[in-house]
Structure 1
Amino acid sequence: MIIKELKIQIKNIGGFGQLCFYLGTFFLASALPIAGIFYLIALFTSIHKTKRSILKDGWNQILIVSSGFILFSSIKTNLFHLQNNTNEIQYSSSWYSLFNWIPLFLIFIYFQHYLKNKDQRSWFSKILISGTFPVFFSCLLQYKYRLYGPWETFGGLIVWFNKPLYGIDGGAPFDGLSGLFSNPNYLGFWLSTIFPLIVALILENKFFNYKKFFTIGLSLLTVILILYTRSRNAILNLFVTSFLVFGLKNLLLALIIIILIFFFVDLLKFGSIFPEAFARIGSIFYSQYLRFNIWSNTIKLIAQRPIFGYGAATFPIYFSIRDIGIQHTHNLPLQIAYDYGILNSIILTLFVTFLVFRGYQAILEAKSYKETNIFNRCWLIASFATIFHHFFDITYYDGKISILIWILLAGLKCIIDECKKSKKYV
């Protein structure tokens, strides 16, 4: 029945490009190269079908300006090697970093064709969640059965990391569940981002049937796995998004239920790190203190080259010179300012901020859309979660995550346009 509905939806709305978009979404979490192939086909199909100037949209114009800054900064970094005081810096890496931005701007612009209405966005959410089942499976293999990777295929293009876990059986301190991702923070980001979309499926289903019970169970599993990642930012993200979805009263009730389930799970000896996971929350404040030191040092560096930055991929080298061995700034606006200059950071930060704000306005004004408003609100919260996370950590440079972020932002732009057309929001 579900497959039949999907076929009808693809045929009536998007055709072949829509199908490739959905296939790319299904493989996004578990097989990025395969997802990339389908997304490329969907991208070129959308470019061919839309046949309109991207300059007509003000949002697109902002991204074009930002692309110019990024491109010029990369050229300047490579050609002039501004005040280069170490031969370790590989300036050519800044060319590769262009793929973290410019192609994703195209995704934002052209994937709106596949997210124009609520049905398209709803199917995207369902397929994204379905595509996350390999992630759940990898977590089960890693935690319960102690089956570790990395497992590679297609010459190493597809890798399931499934890193060894320590501390569960008396070893070293527990590092956190990561599943097929290379880092627990990446898994935590992914799960905390899709959580509001799972909740949307629960709230939209008014009847207590097997579908609702299944999605409720799936949401609880997602929460449990987020806690097992021991990722401070993911846990913080979970609380913030849960508050936005449920409100304070319902959130407290949900937390009580989750705590009881966790203690029951611990009682059955399925897990033993629940107290540690919540103790991890208390260390958030300490970790943020350390981040303030990183941020202050980053700001000093930015002040020396405020216009075009240092170029991408140079941050670990400059900070190792200062005896601070970190890979990034732990704040995406600061990272962009360091890489490409303050002005470009302001442009992209304001772009995303205003997009979320206008989405909030649109959904607030569209109260008469009772059925679609629940889903749109959860989509907005998922989009907000991706932004909130990047004020304290950077997971953006994982291709799976950056693609997901820009697709969510594209869908948010479609929500704004949809409300405008319906004259519910001006």
Structure 2
Amino acid sequence: MSTVVVQFCALFERLRQRLALGCPDAASPAGWLLVQLGLLLLPSSALLASFLLFPALLLGSLRRECPYWRDPWNWPLIAAGLLMLLGCFNAYSGGLALSGLGNWIPFFWAFWGFQPYLADAKARRRMALWLVAGTVPVVVTGLGQLWLGWQGPWQVLGGLIIWFVAPGGEPEGRLSGLFDYANIAAAWLALVWPLALAALVQPGLKRGRRLLVLAVVVALVAALVLTDSRNGWGALVLAVPLVLGPLSWPWLLPLLALALLPVLLSVLPGVPTLLQDPARSLVPESVWSRLSDSRYASERALASTRLSQWSVALQLISERPWLGWGAAAFSVLYPLRTGKWHGHSHNLPLELAVSHGLPVAIAVVGLVLALLVVSQRCASMSLFDRAWWAAILIVVVLHGTDMPFFDSRLNIAGWMLLAGLRSRIGEPRSNDSVTVL
């Protein structure tokens, strides 16, 4: 028994030493270990990840050279947080308004507190790889539920953690894995896809490791396709030129355009039958019918469509533009006005404006867009920084027609990515290693 204990302790020490490598100067060494393990567990369990990420966040907030309120990038979040609190006093949604702040205000702090762990390109690369590695259980369980008939619930820690893996996917026939719904699984896989692609094409990778990464990437792409999410399919295409970089565009963009031409001809309205029929013979019916929404168009009532939800959201904003109706108010008001229930407006800027008012929506959305623009221009980008930037852009695009951030795992990952963009701004050029493909 003593020999086993000694071997285990030696293995643990080697793992600790390996995790300790690459810790940025401004980061807590203990927090550095916790963040890596937290990101590894995040796709599988937000609860387990939080037990690691929360103390890392506390450590990342201590002994900072620049206090929270002195960083101009935090000022929009401070203003938004104060307005959100003020709006709770006259919220239509009552107590839901106060509890709904949990989706926002703690993450305004996390945006700042995680920055020391993402202070250089090497640190961001390591965190990206942990997110890719942590996604493997999502892919495996998703493929298992569709191809092998796996189903939950699966429990660990005496029922503290329960995975409700739906047999055949949720909804039926669409991969959902460890997530509650296929569109949420697709959002997570779309977020990780640019990071996985960067891991695959990075130079200097040994053959055995590249084959392993290739297997993970192929499985991830298969899982993303099987979610049957149009947003996810779009993310597959969008990420490729962004990650590979401008030097690849002269040959890559024409190739992508040629590959997408049959898909466009098969789904765009007004295309002559002479062109559309051959295109649909090349493109799988499951793809062109999903993209054209022909499977569901005849079944949907107007009140169940995005256009109806956005129209009602705009009406609600016009009625209370300054402080909004309170968090979760849309789910209360939409049934009263349409007779159909929907939990949100399927658009993040609209949802923010309905819940907390136009000033809050402008502050938060403006901050994210400014981070994307400024971080892209401030210095030359390494391969993994391009992938990091692409992941944020994909998350932004996804929130134009859906609201995956209501899943806590995506919310945590999204704010972690935003913290990485903030850390990149002002980073010395000598710290950036440009990867040319």
Q: TM-score, normalised by structure 1?
A: 0.82
Q: What is the distance in 1 between the residues matched to 2:121 and 2:65?
A: 23
**Counterparts in 2 of 1:27-426, with a 5 A limit?**
27-50=41-64, 52-77=66-91, 81=92, 91-154=94-157, 157-165=160-168, 174-206=172-204, 209-246=207-244, 247=249, 249-250=251-252, 275-277=285-287, 279-283=289-293, 290-322=305-337, 323-362=339-378, 365-366=379-380, 373-419=382-428
Q: What is the distance in 2 between the residues matched to 1:255 and 1:184?
A: 27
1:358 Cα deviation from its structure 2 partner:
0.7
Q: What is the distance in 1 between the residues matched to 2:179 and 2:22?
A: 32
RMSD: 3.1
1:27 Cα deviation from its structure 2 partner:
1.0
Name structure 1 gaps, 5 residues minimum: 82-88, 168-172, 259-272, 367-371
Q: Are 1:242 and 1:251, in contact at CA under 8 Å, matched by a contact in 2?
A: no
Q: Are 1:10 and 1:16, in contact at CA under 8 Å, matched by a contact in 2?
A: no
Q: How many residues align?
A: 387
Q: Are 2:324 and 2:355, in contact at CA under 8 Å, matched by a contact in 1?
A: yes
Matched, 1:22 2:36: yes
Q: Are 1:205 and 1:212, in contact at CA under 8 Å, matched by a contact in 2?
A: no
Q: 1:326 to 1:111 in 2, by over 3 A?
A: same
Q: 1:129 to 1:274 in 2, by over 3 A?
A: farther
1:73-121 Cα offsets, whole Å, 9 max, x none, are 12332xxx5xxxxxxx5x2122221111011111110100100011211
Q: What is the distance in 1 between the residues matched to 2:416 and 2:126?
A: 13
1:293 Cα deviation from its structure 2 partner:
2.4
Aligned-partner residue type, residue 368 of structure 2: V
Of residues 182-191 and 274-283 in structure 1, the stretch that sits farther from structure 2 once superposed is 274-283
Q: What is the distance in 2 between the residues matched to 1:378 and 1:154?
A: 35
1:48-92 Cα offsets, whole Å, 9 max, x none, are 232541122101111111111111112332xxx5xxxxxxx5x21
1:8 aligns with one of 8, 21, 34: 21
Q: Are 1:26 and 1:131, in contact at CA under 8 Å, matched by a contact in 2?
A: yes
Aligned-partner residue type, residue 137 of structure 2: P
Q: Are 2:20 and 2:32, in contact at CA under 8 Å, matched by a contact in 1?
A: no
Q: 1:55 to 1:382 in 2, by over 3 A?
A: same
Q: What is the distance in 2 between the residues matched to 1:112 and 1:11?
A: 10
Q: Are 2:169 and 2:182, in contact at CA under 8 Å, matched by a contact in 1?
A: no
Q: Are 2:68 and 2:74, in contact at CA under 8 Å, matched by a contact in 1?
A: yes
1:396 Cα deviation from its structure 2 partner:
0.7
Q: What is the distance in 2 between the residues matched to 1:133 and 1:185?
A: 18
Q: What is the distance in 2 between the residues matched to 1:155 and 1:300?
A: 47
Q: What is the distance in 1 between the residues matched to 2:24 and 2:74?
A: 28
Q: What is the distance in 1 between the residues matched to 2:192 and 2:373?
A: 20
Q: Are 1:46 and 1:111, in contact at CA under 8 Å, matched by a contact in 2?
A: yes
1:4 Cα deviation from its structure 2 partner:
5.1
Aligned-partner residue type, residue 321 of structure 2: P
% identity of equivalent residues: 28
1:17-44 Cα offsets, whole Å, 9 max, x none, are 1111111111111111111111111011
1:229-287 Cα offsets, whole Å, 9 max, x none, are 011221122222234334484367689999xxxxxxxxxxxxxx965245322329979
Of residues 236-245 and 153-162 in structure 1, the stretch that sits farther from structure 2 once superposed is 153-162
Q: What is the distance in 2 between the residues matched to 1:298 and 1:225?
A: 33
Query: Equivalent residue for 1:268?
Result: none
Q: Are 2:164 and 2:178, in contact at CA under 8 Å, matched by a contact in 1?
A: yes
Q: What is the distance in 1 between the residues matched to 2:256 and 2:84?
A: 44
Q: Are 1:162 and 1:179, in contact at CA under 8 Å, matched by a contact in 2?
A: yes
SS state at 1:159 partner = strand
Q: Are 2:117 and 2:123, in contact at CA under 8 Å, matched by a contact in 1?
A: yes
